[in-house]
């Protein structure tokens, strides 16, 4: 017999049974479900990642919907179990859904929600933080101080890279990549080179306008360039931030050959997906080039790092916290809950999944819609006219 899963229950007499595989930040998402006749069961197990068997036990014999996490593998076993339990909705508390077999969800008639629209600025801020921390060797210096090694100022002590007037390179100039670029350009007056399959006209106009503003005030204007190839970005940029989607074409996008063409003192930042970097090759490159620095929020075999990476002083590593601002994580929880609630209630799907502000107003009733269902078209779900 399977070990019982510990849970916390809200609104025990609710008509609809909704399960959350993790406790999530904030309380608004709980109130929204409870106030709409949902019995909410929140898993309180201490283990970081639940197994498929754990989630099967949570689903049980009757379950209308599940809020899950990107660390869980949602495929045929779980979606068929959810269907048998009478469920119709699952939502990741994440914008990405690489952990979800959407085809399996389609076969079982399960709507798959995600939470875009609240992560853009938060993720861009973390990428900018990693850029600065790596360039100015902040983590190294912090460890040095805590170890009691500082005994006076020295000319060569933790000399890093100046960002002002240098070139920032962005690979993938979508919402997050463009937000990051604006922060680095406006914050440090960096020039921009970017590579994307699609022209980022809005970003280009921003840089042009900001350059004109600087020139009008007697300062050196910033410039932008859309690179013809990704290799052009890697060769020319002093700081490179990766913001591509993860698919077959971007797996190990950064490999030994591309690392070799980057500047010896470049800074490489990744807050997108771990497997876009060949982590073994990166470790070797860091060893061979001590002035090359990297800032990583994600890892190829998360939660593990490749051997040697943790020992590299020229690497700043953080545990997948790009979305970890209070406002963003509470917003993600709210959107995930509303995805599940909306499908249970038969609401249509919101027309623009990146326009989420109406769902996040603390004291207002959210629209009667599912904020973001990635397989809405495949399931033939109606679209909101709001």
Residue 41 has pLDDT above 80, yes or no: yes
The β-bridge partners of 8 are 42
Concatenated DSSP letters of 308-325: TGGG-TTEEE-SS-TT-S
Average pLDDT of span 24-32: 97
pLDDT digits (tens, 9 = 90+) for 268-317: 999 999 999 999 999 999 999 999 999 999 999 999 999 999 999 999 99
Residue 2 has pLDDT above 60, yes or no: no
Q: How confident is the model at residue 3 (pLDDT cuts 50, 70, 90)?
A: low
Task: For residue 183, say if its preceding peptide bond is cis, omega within 30 degrees of 0.
Answer: no
Of the two residues 2 and 73, the one the predictor is more confident about is: 73
Average pLDDT of span 192-198: 97
Residue 48 has pLDDT above 60, yes or no: yes
The β-bridge partners of 383 are 349
Upper half-sphere CA count for residue 258 (Cβ side, 13 Å): 20
Q: Which long-range contacts (CB under 8 A, 24 or more apart) does 13-17 make?
A: 13/39, 14/38, 14/39, 14/40, 15/39, 16/64, 16/65, 16/344, 17/41, 17/62, 17/63, 17/64
pLDDT digits (tens, 9 = 90+) for 210-246: 999 999 999 999 999 999 999 999 999 999 999 999 8
Give residue 386's pLDDT. 67
Inter-axis angle of helices 175-188 and 120-135, nearest 10:
50
SS3 category, 232 = helix
Euclidean distance between CA atoms 232 and 227, whole angstroms: 6
Give residue 58's pLDDT. 97
- Three-state secondary structure of 35-59: CCCEEEEEECCCCCCCCHHHHHHHH
Average pLDDT of span 338-351: 97
- Does the annotation count 302 as an active-site position? yes
Give residue 1's pLDDT. 36
Mean pLDDT of the chain: 96
Q: Which stretches within the chain are classed as H helix?
A: 28-34, 52-59, 76-84, 102-107, 120-135, 138-146, 175-188, 201-216, 230-236, 256-260, 279-288, 326-345, 357-360, 376-379
Euclidean distance between CA atoms 4 and 73, whole angstroms: 20
The β-bridge partners of 193 are 169, 225
Residue 96 has pLDDT above 90, yes or no: no
* Candidates 17, 273, 293, 329; catalytic one: 273
Strands in 16-20's sheet, in edge-to-edge order, are 7-10, 38-43, 16-20, 65-68, 89-92, 111-113
Domains of the chain: 5-116+322-377 (3.40.50.720), 119-315 (3.40.50.720)
H helix and E strand count, the chain: 14, 13
Burial of 178 (0-12, 13-18, 19+ CB in 10 A): buried
pTM: 0.91
Closest CA to 334 of 93, 96, 43: 93
* Candidates 31, 226, 235, 320; catalytic one: 320
Euclidean distance between CA atoms 278 and 145, whole angstroms: 32
* Candidates 45, 125, 265, 302; catalytic one: 302
User: What residues contact 105, with CB distance under 8 A and at least 6 apart?
Assistant: 74, 79, 90, 111, 112, 375
Give residue 385's pLDDT. 73
Of the two residues 363 and 145, the one the predictor is more confident about is: 145
Give residue 7's pLDDT. 95
Closest CA to 191 of 166, 160, 214, 211: 166
Residue 4 has pLDDT above 80, yes or no: no
């Amino acid at each position: 017999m399977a070990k019982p899963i510990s849970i916390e229950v809200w609104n025990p007499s609710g008509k609809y049974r909704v399960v959350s595989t993790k406790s999530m930040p904030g309380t608004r998402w709980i109130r929204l479900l409870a106030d709409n006749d949902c019995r909410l069961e929140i898993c309180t197990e201490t283990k970081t990642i639940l197994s498929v068997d754990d989630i099967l036990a949570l689903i049980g014999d009757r379950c209308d919907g599940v809020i899950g996490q990107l660390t869980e593998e949602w495929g045929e076993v779980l979606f068929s179990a959810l269907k048998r339990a009478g469920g119709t909705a699952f939502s990741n508390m994440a914008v990405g859904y690489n952990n979800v077999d959407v085809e399996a969800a389609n076969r079982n008639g399960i709507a798959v929600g995600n939470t875009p629209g609240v992560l853009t600025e938060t993720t861009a801020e973390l990428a900018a933080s990693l850029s600065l921390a790596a360039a100015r060797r902040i983590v190294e210096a912090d460890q040095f101080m805590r170890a009691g090694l500082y005994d006076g100022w020295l000319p060569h002590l933790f000399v890093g890279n100046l960002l002002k007037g240098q070139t920032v390179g962005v690979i993938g100039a979508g919402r997050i990549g463009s937000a990051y670029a604006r922060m680095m350009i406006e914050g440090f007056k960096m020039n921009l080179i970017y590579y994307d399959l699609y022209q980022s006209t809005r970003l280009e106009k921003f840089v042009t306008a900001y350059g004109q503003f600087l020139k009008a005030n007697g300062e050196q204007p910033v410039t932008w360039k859309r690179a013809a190839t990704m290799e052009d970005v890697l060769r020319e940029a002093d700081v490179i931030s990766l913001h591509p989607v993860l698919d077959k074409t971007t797996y190990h996008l950064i490999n030994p050959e591309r690392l070799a063409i980057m500047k010896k003192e470049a800074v490489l930042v990744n807050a997108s997906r771990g497997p876009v970097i060949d982590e073994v090759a990166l470790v070797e490159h860091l060893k061979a080039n001590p002035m090359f620095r990297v800032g990583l929020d994600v890892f190829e075999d998360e939660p593990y790092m490749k051997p040697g990476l943790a020992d590299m002083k020229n690497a700043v590593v953080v545990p997948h916290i790009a979305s970890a601002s209070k406002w963003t994580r509470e917003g993600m929880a709210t959107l995930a809950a509303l995805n599940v609630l909306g499908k249970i209630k038969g609401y249509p799907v919101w027309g623009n999944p990146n326009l989420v502000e109406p769902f996040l107003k603390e004291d207002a009733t959210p629209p009667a819609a599912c904020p973001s269902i990635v397989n809405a078209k495949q399931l033939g779900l109606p679209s909101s006219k709001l």
